[in-house]
Chain A
């Protein structure tokens, strides 16, 4: 029992930490493409960890499967929306940001 609580707390805290890291990336990263990267990847992992923590003390299998289904659907949806944002940004020719820069510059496509 005690071990279960410790494991759950560990999963919940690391899940929340993943969300924080994702949000930090959204604020700190320089251009659209890297921001999507931070959001979609870190948040999926964070949600997965939280779902795992919740599943640990659920008795009914159906409920656990529902939680897993939610995780799966959110993963597909966030991958899709991340792809769409990147695709649209590319269509609008929003420039990439080179490493070491803090602002995107316009010549990056010609290099």
Chain B
């Protein structure tokens, strides 16, 4: 029975991937891509990885879907030429093909190579779990054993937001956003906002003992911000570039600060004292959640204001 479910999932996954690549209409391929994200999160659940499933559903299907739909609206606003599927004459097609084949070959090589030193990492993690300050192994790895990785990931996110800020045209003026003047939407969102925040904070809190954590919580928070924006509750914070940037840096700064305190006592960077590890991890995760939510929202916001400017420019 389980094999049947797995087989169905694999078939749907492959079908959706093919459809999203080869559909003529861009809108349809975005829709198929969002569906692909949802099915992928089901696949992760079948593989016993609820953490990744949560992240995939929130980031892969949710936020990426919003960004792609947004990009699609920009494409419609700026150009009227229908996109060609196979542009054989363009060098970037061959470049993409070449790099794609390269990545596939490299991955194939990596898979075929046997791992030389066989280390039972999962055993090591469960042995040291008691010292990490949390009881969920994934959170222990992300924020204690391999916290360098997470720190750099957040730095990459900040960098992405900075790039989005640079790509925005510098000479534009803040424009009033077009919100949806729908009364039912406002009424329902009033009901939903507290619940979205609650879910976000719950995911953050649950991260120490069960699947959940800063990235999932941040993505949920970002969806709340996007909804806020769409109903026209534009805050002064989003208008001001300084507040935007401070929001991005906030989580990273807390992470670096907490990581740097042990340096004063002559210990290596990012070693938490065992007694306070749990509290410190929660503190870092709270900062990360707020910053990740804010960064993901900013990516949406920055592209938004650029499009309004372009629309105004082209008659």
Contacts and interface: CB of A to CB of B under 8 A. Distances in A.
A73 B180 CA distance: 21
Contacts of B191: 76
A87 B182 CA distance: 8
A83 B195 contact: no
A8 to B, nearest CB: 16
Nearest to B188: A80
Interface of A: 73, 76-77, 80, 83-84, 87
Which secondary structure dominates where chain A touches chain B? helix
A80 B182 CA distance: 10
11 contacts: A73-B195, A76-B188, A77-B192, A80-B184, A80-B185, A80-B188, A83-B182, A84-B180, A84-B182, A84-B184, A87-B182
B81 to A, nearest CB: 23
Interface string B180-214: 10101100100110010000000000000000000
Contacts of A87: 182
Interface residues of B, number: 8
Contacts of A76: 188, 191-192
Contacts of A77: 192
Nearest to B189: A80
Contacts of B184: 80, 83-84
A72 B180 CA distance: 24
Contacts of B185: 80, 83-84
Nearest to A69: B195
A80 B227 CA distance: 13
A47 to B, nearest CB: 15
B68 to A, nearest CB: 18
Contacts of B182: 83-84, 87
A76 B193 CA distance: 13
Nearest to B184: A83
B45 to A, nearest CB: 16
A106 B185 CA distance: 29
A-B complex: 3 closest residue pairs judged by Cβ atoms: A80-B188, A83-B184, A87-B182
B228 to A, nearest CB: 16
Contacts of B195: 73
Contacts of A84: 180, 182, 184-185
A73 B192 CA distance: 9
Nearest to A76: B188
Interface string B209-238: 000000000000000000000000000000
